[in-house]
Structure 1
C-alpha cells in the first residue's frame, strides 16, 4: 500500500515538473541573434518588420522598410489587420521589453512565426546593417579616432536617451568625472545624434556599451552598466 502511494506521488511530481517545463518553454521568447534575424529577413520577398519603439524614436532612425507600432499603440488593431499572419514577423526595439511583449501578443493571436532581435536597434546599427537616419552623425569615425589618439585615457559611453539602462550610467559618469577631472576624457555618444559612428565602430551590440581606452588600446568593453566605477578605478590604477 505504501509502495503504491509512493509511486503515485512520484508520478504526480513528474507530471507537475513536466508541466512547469512546458510552461517555461511556452513563455520563452523567440529572441535571435543579429545574423539569424538578418538572414531570415533576407529570405522573405516582402518581410514584415516592426519597430516596437515610440514614434519619436522611429522618426529619428529605423530599419529600412519597417513599420512602427507596439502593443500600446492607439492603432494597434489597425496595424495588425495589415499583416499576414501566415508569414514571419520580425520585431525590434531599443531593448527587449516592447519587442518581446509584441512578439508574444502576435503569437498568442495566431501568427505563425514572430522573432525579436537580440540587442534591438543597437545591435542592428552597431552590426553595420542598413538603416535610415534623419540626419548625419555629429561625430565622424575620424574625429572619434583623433580623440582616442590625443588622450591617454578615454572612457566612451554609447547609448540612447530612450534607453532606461543608459540613464543609470549618467550619475556614475558624473562621479567618475568628479574624481578624475582632466586626467580622463569622457566621450558620450548617443544613437539620436551619432548613428553612423556607431555603425562605423562595428563593436556595439547593446545599449549601453562602455569602452575604456588607455594610450589608444581598449582596456575593457562592457555591454551594460555592470560595476563601471570599480572597473574604471582598477584599470586606471594599473598604470
Structure 2
C-alpha cells in the first residue's frame, strides 16, 4: 500500500514539474482563431503546419500548409526546411499532435511557435478559407430545412479522426432509442460536409453539439460534457 502511495506521489510530482516546464516556455503558445489568422496574414510566406495524418490532410487543410508531425518519416527533413527565426503556425484536430510538434520545434531553437486552439474545427468552423477535395454531402439550406421541419433536432458536428467525437456515438444511439421520432439526430462529419460546417460559422471545437426546438437553439455545447443529461433536462422542460 505504501509503495502504491509513494508511486502515486512521485507521478503527481512529475506531472507538476511538467506543467511548470510548459508554463515557463515562452516560445510556444496556444492562440484563438482570430489571433492565429491575423499573425499568419502578417507573414509574406507563412510557415503553416498541419500536424494531422496524411489521410486527414488530403481531405481538407489550410491552403499552403505543410503536412508532418513528430511521427512522420520525413520529420527531420521537414523541420530542416523551415526557418527557425520565423514564426511557425501549427494546427491539428485538438491540441495533442500540435503540442508534441510545438515542443519539438521549440527544443530545436524555433523562436515563435503558435498552436491554433480548436485546430481545424476552429479554422473551418470560423469561416476561414480552406482546401477540400470533395463537395459537401449536406448543404446549409438542407441543414436549415431539417432544423425547421422537426420539433427537436440534435446536431452532432465532429470528425471521424477525433477521439472525443467517437465517445459521442453510443450516447446518440441511447438517445435515439429513448426518444424515437420525438428527437431527430443529425451527424455531420468534417470529412463528408466541410462546407456546411464553414457556412454555420459557429463551430470552434470538435465535437460541437447543438439542440434545436422548432428551429431555435436550446443549447450549444463546445465539447461533449454531460450530453445525455442536458438533452433529458431540455426535453423534460418542454
Structure 2 length normalisation: TM-score? 0.90
1:119 aligns with 2:118: yes
The 5 Å alignment of 1:136-215 reads 136-215=135-214
For residues 54-108 of structure 1, what are the alpha-carbon distances to aligned partners after superposition, in whole Å with 9 as ceiling and x for unaligned? 0000000000000000001010011011101110000000100000110111011
Which SS does the other structure have where 1:211 is aligned?
Answer: strand
| CA deviations over 1:166-210 (Å, ceiling 9, x no partner) | 000000001000000111100000000000000000000000000
Moved over 2 A (4+): 19-24, 26-29
Once the 2 structures are TM-superposed, how far is the Cα of residue 25 of structure 1 from its aligned partner? 1.7
- In structure 2, the residue matched to 1:232 is 231
Tell me the equivalent position of 1:25: 23
Match of 2:131 in 1: 132
The alignment partner of 1:174 has SS state of helix
Extract unaligned runs of 5+ from structure 2.
Answer: 1-16
Q: CA deviation at 1:21?
A: 8.8
Alpha-carbon distance in 2 for matches of 1:71, 1:225? 28
Separation in 1 of the partners of 2:68 and 2:208?
26
CA distance in 1, matches of 2:100, 2:200: 30
| Matched length | 221
Q: Distance in 1 between matches of 2:176 and 2:150?
A: 15
What is the match of residue 11 of structure 2? none
Question: How far apart in 1 are the matches of 2:20 and 2:192?
Answer: 44
RMSD: 1.4
- State the alpha-carbon separation in 2 of the partners of residues 20 and 139 from structure 1: 43
Gaps of 5+ in 1: 1-18
